């Protein structure tokens, strides 16, 4: 899945002499074996990722110095390479989390796809660097370089938590940059929460994001225990914060699909990952639909919301032998299948 070199990394291979002069802290949109290329060209980088799937893949490759979490562990780094993430707010967050590891004068690089917001690199670096230069541009990707001149304040995760109220539920939903639906309840999730009001037993919130589905159900249902999984460290932390601030208790842990889940559930509930054009997201949901029955107790159910146009009913029928449509709007449908 991460085998092919992205156009951004391809462009970076032309700049390995500069990039590998010092051991870099590398973070952001990591989607290939770039850390290995850097390690071949010079000192091995330290890699920090918020993506559990990438973390597991790099660990399997034997890359020792990779961390998964919300911010890199304290320490020092001789320079930073930020691969521009999809959301600008996430780039700001990653700079704030990683730059405190650098000393004044250390090099800071930002690389990314021209269509992915890399052009905002000078603006993003303005609070930290006096001058930002464009070092290279090829294959629709660009590389910017700067020198750290203004030492950043120590990083505090709490400063990055945003909140919105869910009035009907009397809940406060907490999110972090880049987390799905960070500023308001997604309309698909809203329909799911309107359709499914009571659940009992062991429940899994698959792809929990800011924890809105799990926290809402837990608040309404005393006879329920909750587990929340996501691939993204910032989503997991947002869910933990949402649960804690609303005095709710659940087990929250990273998992790529159902890979880290053990035992069987009474219900698996989800607004699953989707993104037109990104094959991996369909793959995650397709795998969930075909394997969920193995993770359900007899009589247990898989309940999901999906865009009405997605071909999920056929996949659910193939795996469960049936698929109920519990609710439908022009845009979304709620499906349920029982084991
Ligand atoms: C559509 S969002 C739903 C978030 C939240 N449940 C809500 O309703 O607002 C899907 C979530 O799935 C997560 N996700 C993506 N790929 C995943 C995977 N392979 N395994 C687990 N979670 C994944 C994303 O990080 C995202 O938080």
| Helix ranges, the chain (H) | 7-12, 16-19, 34-41, 52-60, 88-98, 121-125, 187-195, 212-220, 233-245, 279-291, 312-320
How much is the average pLDDT of 46-59?
96
Mutate to test the pocket of ligand 1, among 176, 231, 260 (most ligand atoms within 8 A of CB): 231
Please return the burial class of 121, using the count of CB atoms within 10 Å of its CB with bins 0-12, 13-18 and 19+.
Answer: buried
Supply 254's token pair.
């990273």
* Pocket of ligand 1 contains residue 58 by CB under 6 Å: no
Beta bridge partners of 228: 205, 252
- Cα 116 from Cα 84, distance rounded (Å): 7
pLDDT at residue 276, as a whole number? 47
Pocket test residue of 211, 230, 288 for ligand 1, highest count of atoms within 8 A of CB: 230
**Over pLDDT 70: what percentage of the chain?**
98
DSSP β-bridge partners for residue 312: none
- Tell me how far the alpha carbon of residue 201 lies from the centroid of ligand 1, in angstroms: 22
Each domain of the chain, given as residue ranges in start order, spans 7-147, 161-338
Strand pairing category for 66-68 and 46-49? parallel
What mean pLDDT is predicted for residues 308-326? Answer: 96
How far is ligand 1, taken at its centre, from the CA of residue 106, in Å? 35
CATH number of 161-338: 3.40.50.150
Q: Whose CA is nearest to atom 11 of ligand 1?
A: 207
pLDDT tens-place string over residues 147-186 = 999 999 999 999 999 999 999 899 999 999 999 999 999 9
- The highest-level CATH class for domain 7-147 is alpha beta
pLDDT of residue 182: 94
Which residue's alpha carbon is nearest to atom 1 within ligand 1? 273
Least confident of 25-29, 54-58, 271-275: 271-275
Q: Which residues contact 139 (CB under 8 A, 6 or more apart)?
A: 7, 10, 11
Provide the pLDDT for residue 281: 59
pTM for this predicted structure:
0.96
Distance 254 CA to ligand 1 centre (A): 11
Over range 79-102, report the average pLDDT: 97
274 alpha carbon to ligand 1 midpoint, in Å? Answer: 8
What is d(CA 163, CA 34) in angstroms, rounded to the nearest whole number? 35
Burial class (CB in 10 A: 0-12, 13-18, 19+), 4: exposed
pLDDT surpasses 70 at 85: yes
């Amino acid at each position: 899945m991460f085998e092919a070199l992205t156009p951004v990394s391809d462009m970076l291979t032309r700049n390995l002499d500069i990039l590998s002069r010092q051991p870099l802290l590398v973070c952001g949109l990591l989607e290939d074996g770039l850390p290995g290329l850097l390690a071949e060209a010079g000192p091995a980088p330290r890699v920090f990722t918020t993506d559990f799937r990438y973390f597991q893949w790099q660990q399997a490759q034997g890359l020792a110095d990779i961390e998964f979490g919300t911010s890199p562990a304290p320490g020092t780094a001789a320079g930073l390479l930020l691969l521009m993430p999809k959301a600008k707010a996430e780039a700001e967050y990653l700079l704030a989390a990683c730059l405190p590891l650098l000393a004044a004068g250390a090099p800071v690089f930002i690389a990314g796809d021209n269509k992915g917001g890399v052009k905002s690199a000078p603006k993003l670096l303005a609070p930290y660097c006096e001058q930002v230069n464009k070092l290279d541009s090829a294959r629709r990707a660009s590389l910017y370089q700067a020198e750290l001149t203004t030492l950043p304040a120590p990083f505090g995760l709490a400063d990055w938590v945003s909140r919105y109220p869910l009035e009907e539920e009397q809940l406060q939903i907490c999110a972090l940059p880049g987390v799905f639906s960070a500023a308001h309840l997604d309309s698909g999730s809203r329909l799911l929460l309107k359709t499914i009001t009571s659940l009992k037993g062991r429940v899994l919130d698959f792809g929990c994001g800011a924890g809105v589905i799990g926290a809402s159900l837990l608040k309404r249902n005393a006879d329920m225990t909750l587990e929340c999984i996501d691939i993204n460290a910032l989503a997991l932390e947002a869910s933990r914060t949402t649960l804690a601030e609303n005095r709710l208790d659940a087990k929250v842990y990273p998992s790529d699909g159902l890979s880290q889940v053990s035992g069987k559930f009474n219900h698996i509930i989800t607004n699953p990952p989707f993104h037109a054009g990104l094959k991996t997201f369909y793959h995650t949901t397709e795998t969930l639909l075909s394997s969920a029955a193995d993770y359900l107790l007899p009589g247990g159910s898989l309940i999901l919301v999906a865009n009405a146009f997605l071909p999920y009913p056929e996949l659910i029928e193939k795996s469960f032998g049936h698929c109920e449509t519990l609710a439908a709007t022009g845009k979304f449908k709620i499906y349920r299948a029982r084991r």
